[in-house]
Structure 1
Amino acid sequence: MSLQNRTVTARAVLFDMDGTLVDSTRIVEQVWGDFAGRFGLDIAEILRTSHGVQAIDTVRRFAPAGADVHALTSELGRMELAETRGIVPIPGALQLLERLPANAVALVTSASRSLAEVRMAAAGIDLPAASVTAEDVTRGKPHPEGYLRAASLLGVAPEDALVFEDAPAGIAAGLAAGIRTVAVGPNTGLLPEGVFHIPDYSAVSVTTDVSADGVRTISFLL
């Protein structure tokens, strides 16, 4: 994979979901706001650190001593599943996905599979056949397990893939997997050297070429 003049080439593309393909800000803030209010917690701190990580890890971090972490996480999950109002695709995401080969795309999300199905459907985005959700990993972001698994599902080496991510935990996971990572949106935090940032996909163009020996190359102009 090469990187020159804001052009990135890869053989496969791995997307996070919330904040990267799907804007679910309204419901995320509502659910975690309810959680924070119940226990007298700092909602700003929860939102700052929860983005991109599995819900159970956030509950475990912030719930008071003695709380039933699994029960609380399940309750929050039911709240998230019940609400889809305001969920929309990130600008340009639908158009970008339409131009990508379906068998070169994977989803890697900290959400459960059921939540991923609900939110992607609400945003009008097809769930990729290669999808890695919370149930598929033993260690969530910022651990690289999810992205390494997705690259393997698509049959590419990490250095031949490209990650699009919006949260510090996810960006760290992509880089830890040895995958070139592009940051998306306003919540990326301080970016490591070499990580490009895009506000959304509105100005991103993509082309796909196949060589004479059948090697596919996807080129992004960011």
Structure 2
Amino acid sequence: MDLTIIEAVLFDMDGTLVDSDAAVERAWRVWAAEYAVDPAAVLAVAHGAPAERTVRLVRPDLTGTGVAEAAARQLTLQYDDLSDVVATPGAPELLAALRVPWAIVTSADVRLAKARLGAAGIAAPLLVTVEDVRVGKPDPEGYRRAAELLGVAPEHCLVVEDAEVGVTAGRAAGAQVAGLKGVDADLPITDLRALTQLLAAAGKAHA
């Protein structure tokens, strides 16, 4: 991957810039009990994806209003569960070092995104939530929208993700993708500190 061509960085939120994995898992476990679904089956497909997509996968019997209500319930379980939500290691330093525009593209709604970013002490210059798109991840619409709003061609954007659905969305948008947590991506990275070093070497961040 040639990081010298990167003109903008597009970040996923949960698990990438914000360590909210425990809160996400707690909410889905409670939801799974309420909706009579195996929690392991839910957690296997929920990470990084919009709530409605997960609901449709694990409760295919629900349609229309039922899906919307189930997804809304899941989000409600997360809104106030912020006690252990923090920035991921290296996130503040990376964001402070960036010399190119950046944005966050998340499967959360705007209320949840702002709550978690606030808890993590992160102020996003541009935030694209699931409410800003017709179709969420793994569809590329969110990343394409962020690139357009930043005025950067997708092929000159670096997407940073920690989930397979997000990597799929980034690649489909035409961007290069850096992957955390061992996900298959164009640029595997161990953590955001490593990405800061790589971008600094490419002149996109200062050490």
**TM-score normalised by L of structure 1:** 0.84
SS of equivalent to 2:127: strand
Q: Is the contact made by 1:20 and 1:185 (CA closer than 8 Å) also made in structure 2? A: no
CA distance in 2, matches of 1:66, 1:182: 35
Per the alignment, residue 73 of structure 1 pairs with 71
Offset at 1:172?
A: 0.4
Q: State which of 80, 84, 97 in structure 2 corresponds to 1:99.
A: 97
Where does structure 1 differ by over 6 angstroms across 4 or more consecutive aligned residues? none
Change (3 A) 1:8 1:18: farther
Per the alignment, residue 43 of structure 1 pairs with 39
Change (3 A) 1:66 1:166: closer
Report matched runs for 1:102-117 at 5 Å: 104-117=101-114
Offset at 1:39?
A: 3.2
Q: Percent identity?
A: 41
RMSD, aligned CA:
2.2
Change (3 A) 1:160 1:59: same
Per the alignment, residue 213 of structure 1 pairs with none
Change (3 A) 1:113 1:66: closer
Offset at 1:112?
A: 0.3
**Structure showing the higher helix proportion among its residues:** 2
Change (3 A) 1:148 1:178: same
Report matched runs for 1:123-134 at 5 Å: 123-126=120-123, 128-134=124-130
Per the alignment, residue 29 of structure 1 pairs with 25
Q: Is the contact made by 1:54 and 1:140 (CA closer than 8 Å) also made in structure 2? A: yes
Change (3 A) 1:179 1:66: closer
Per the alignment, residue 56 of structure 2 pairs with 60
User: Which structure 2 residue ranges, 5 or more long, are not aligned?
Assistant: none
Per the alignment, residue 12 of structure 2 pairs with 16
SS of equivalent to 2:69: helix
SS of equivalent to 2:159: strand
Offset at 1:42?
A: 2.1
Per the alignment, residue 152 of structure 1 pairs with 148
User: Which structure 1 residue ranges, 5 or more long, are not aligned?
Assistant: 210-216
SS of equivalent to 1:106: strand
Q: State which of 169, 181, 184 in structure 2 corresponds to 1:185.
A: 181
CA distance in 1, matches of 2:206, 2:49: 27
Offset at 1:131?
A: 1.3
Q: Is 1:142 equivalent to 2:142 in the alignment?
A: no
SS of equivalent to 2:84: coil
Change (3 A) 1:201 1:66: closer
Offset at 1:185?
A: 2.3
Q: Is the contact made by 1:27 and 1:84 (CA closer than 8 Å) also made in structure 2? A: yes
**Structure showing the higher strand proportion among its residues:** 1
Query: Radius of gyration: which is bigger?
Result: 1
